[in-house]
């Protein structure tokens, strides 16, 4: 599935969030899970959780 990401790592995170796809290599999968924990998909856009938390505090 192509998500139109301009960076390879963004596509990997998005694929993990949407489909649960992880690399076969143990350490690459662990790294991807750790990175993906910092992101959420809102309206089709990959967004960092830190940005969401800052926005929520402004409300």
pTM exceeds 0.75 for this model: no
For residue range 17-49, list pLDDT tens digits in order: 989 999 999 999 999 999 999 998 888 888 888
Confidence of residue 56 (pLDDT cuts 50, 70, 90): low
Q: Provide the 10 A C-beta neighbour count for residue 27.
A: 8
Q: Which is more confident, 13 or 49?
A: 13
Q: Which helix (H) or strand (E) holds 41?
A: strand 39-42
Give me the residue spans of the domains in the chain.
Answer: 8-58
pLDDT score for 8: 75
């Amino acid at each position: 599935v192509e998500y139109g990401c301009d960076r390879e790592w963004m596509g990997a995170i998005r694929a993990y969030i949407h489909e649960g796809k992880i690399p076969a290599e143990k350490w690459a999968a662990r790294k991807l899970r750790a990175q993906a924990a910092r992101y959420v998909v809102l309206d089709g856009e990959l967004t960092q959780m830190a940005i969401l938390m800052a926005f929520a505090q402004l409300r």
